[in-house]
Amino acid sequence: METPNRNLDTISSTPSSTTKEGVLVRKEDSGSTISSGTEVGKVLSDESNTAEPSTSIEKPEFIDTSNSSLNTISSSPSISSSTTEEGGSASEEDNDSTIPSKTDSVLTIENNKDQSVQEVESMKLIPIYCLYNDTNGEHLYTVDANEKDVLYHQHDWGYEGVAWYAPASGRAVYRLYNPSLRNHLYTMDTNEVRVLTRYHGWQSDNNGRPVFYSGGAVPIYRLYNDGLRGLHHWTTDKNEYVVLPRHGWKQEGTTFYASQIGEPIQTQYASKLIYNGQFYSVRGKYGRMIIVNKKHPLRSDYHPGEDATAGVQVRKLIGDMQKLGFPISSSYSGFRSYSDQTQLYQNFVRANGQAVADRFAARPGYSEHQTGLAFDILNSQGGSLTDASVRWMHANLHRYGFILRYKQGKEHVTGYQYESWHIRYVGKEAEDIYRSGLTLEEYFGIPGGGY
């Protein structure tokens, strides 16, 4: 089987703090750092309040476009600006700063020839490049094409395309970095910059100058994850903004604005599929999760055998069902190699034709059984599982770390007809998926359906 192309999201390290020619410079110093367990929040409103460094500052809420109240976050370096929907309180002199970009990073919109030079200049758009680090879950946003290339080619970050286009002038946005937490923060609040860099171990990137500007009609939403070192994520994708709270993120409203939506390679952070040369996976709440369906195959020589933890749990599930009196066989159909699946699939095709076989049998390389994480539960008396067995099993699978993989009425999503007996081990996130009522594809926003 032809190996799928490597996904651009494959990454492993954090941005280097080493100064490189043409790269936004991170100012290194020996300032105090803030631990991930320190509660920080609202920046102090004036210098008189900052005479004594504080390790616990109340965090305000961002104001979103619906004016709904937002959760207060703690135990992280989450510092939200005290802002309006525009997202900051930068002074006029801050907004006059020159943005550090190369001339080839500026996209000029073609206008009618009779437009004045001033009108054309006012419509210059700055591409904001986005990179993603799968190791620590962080996104990095930069106008510097050289920084983008250096990180992508030399530091194993994945390039995700242009996140959005910023105006050439407007409300100044600053970028901070905390070397202890390995987090970046983007803010328009100059007082927030001052407090964080002075007392909490953060450093100003780009020598304290703006890294881009806010302005336009496209809202940029901000989310926060206390479980990932207080990471923040910025996105123009409203659907992503809605999906991420299912995965431990908290909505913080509109933080600033863009002039135009970009052309990201993938817009949904929740569905960032990584291909490692053998299988695709997505980041879940508790770690990476292998994804196999008709759109995302396994390599033919991937042969992990039965997953040890999944094997223990499926036998525990079967044993408990037997104790309750359900006619469940101690035998089950678990791991299948690529060659095993080839033979099985060919038998089904000969008996039913390919179109019919594809509805209930996976082609070789496309079967979850090859991961060692999928199991078919069998009736001890032969035939299908009893209705009572199915009801109990489906209501309790998540307690053992399993989900029902091919749900009723979801063939257009999963690619397969309803299978009451086919379960998939996903670990601790099984309960979240079960409570959502969604298929694995729907839960992570992953493409599914046919080949």
User: For 422-432, what is each residue's pLDDT tens digit?
Assistant: 999 999 999 99
Q: Domains in the chain: how many in total?
A: 2
Element housing 432 (H / E): helix 430-436
How far is residue 278's CA from residue 127's CA, in Å, rounded to a whole number?
A: 34
Q: What pLDDT sits at residue 154?
A: 65
DSSP 147: H
CB 326 within 8 A of CB 389: yes
Edge-to-edge strand ranges of the sheet holding 250-258: 231-235, 218-225, 250-258
Do both 119 and 263 map to the same domain?
yes
Q: Nearest Cα to 303, choosing from 287, 279, 283, 333?
A: 279
Asked if residue 5 is part of any domain, the answer here is no
Alpha helices by DSSP H, listed for 253-353, are 308-323, 338-352
Last residue of a domain, one of 271, 296, 328: 271
The secondary structure of residue 86, as a DSSP letter, is T
Name the residue among 371, 297, 361, 358 with its Cα closest to residue 1. 297
At residue 331, does pLDDT exceed 80? Answer: yes
Boundary residue ending a domain (271, 302, 330): 271
Of all residues in the chain, what percent carry a pLDDT higher than 90? 54
Q: Looking at the structure, do residues 107 and 253 belong to the same domain, yes or no?
A: yes
> Do 293 and 267 fall within a single domain?
no
Does the pLDDT value for residue 111 go beyond 70?
no
Q: Is residue 277 part of a domain?
A: no
Give which of 139, 126, 153, 138 is closest to 20, Cα–Cα.
153
In a domain, 380, yes or no: yes
CATH number at residue 347: 3.30.1380.10
- Which residues span the domain enclosing 410? 288-444
Residues with a known catalytic role = 419
260, 379: one domain: no
pTM for this structure?
0.51
| H-run or E-run covering 103 | none
Residues 297 and 161 in one domain: no
Asked if residue 8 lies in contact with residue 160, where contact means CB atoms within 8 angstroms, the answer is: yes
Give the whole-angstrom CA distance, residue 149 versus residue 24: 12
Regarding whether 439 and 409 lie in a shared domain, the answer is yes
- Answer whether residue 113 shows pLDDT above 80: no
User: In this structure, are residues 165 and 262 in contact, taking their beta carbons and an 8 Å threshold?
Assistant: yes
Question: Is 137 among the domain residues?
Answer: yes
Q: Please check whether residue 11 lies inside any domain of the structure.
A: no
Give the whole-angstrom CA distance, residue 275 versus residue 279.
6
Both 318 and 169 in one domain: the answer is: no
User: 80 φ, ψ to 5°?
Assistant: -90, 140
Q: Which two tokens stand for residue 260?
A: 């135009």
Whether residue 269 contacts residue 244, with contact meaning beta carbons closer than 8 Å, is answered with yes
Angle at 101 between CA 95 and CA 103, to 5 degrees: 120
Residues in the chain: 451
Report pLDDT for 227. 83
Judge contact between 450 and 416, C-beta under 8 A.
no
Q: Per the domain annotation, does 267 fall within a domain?
A: yes
Q: Please check whether residues 74 and 207 belong to one and the same domain.
A: yes
22-55 pLDDT tens trace: 334 333 333 333 333 333 333 433 333 333 323 2
Give the tens place of pLDDT for each residue, 135-175.
777 889 999 999 888 887 766 677 778 999 999 999 999 99
Q: What is the pLDDT of residues 353-398, one digit of tens each?
A: 999 999 999 999 999 999 999 999 999 998 899 999 999 999 999 9
Q: Is residue 246 part of a domain?
A: yes
Mean per-residue pLDDT, 211-227: 93
Q: Give CA separation, 228 vs 134, 231, 300, in Å.
A: 12, 6, 34
Query: Do 105 and 235 share a structural domain?
Result: yes
Calpha distance 162→127 (Å, rounded): 6
Among 271, 304, 339, residue at a domain's last position? 271
Co-location of 257 and 328 in the same domain: no
User: What are the tokens at 407?
Assistant: 């749900």
Structure tokens belonging to residue 55: 């390790």
Same domain, 138 and 230: yes
Q: Which residues pair with 205 in a beta bridge?
A: 26
CA-based angle 318:319:320, to the nearest 5? Answer: 95
Q: Are residues 61 and 194 in the same domain?
A: yes
Collapse the DSSP code of 143 into the 3-class scheme (helix H, G, I; strand E, B; otherwise coil) and give the result: coil
* Domain assignment present for 7: no
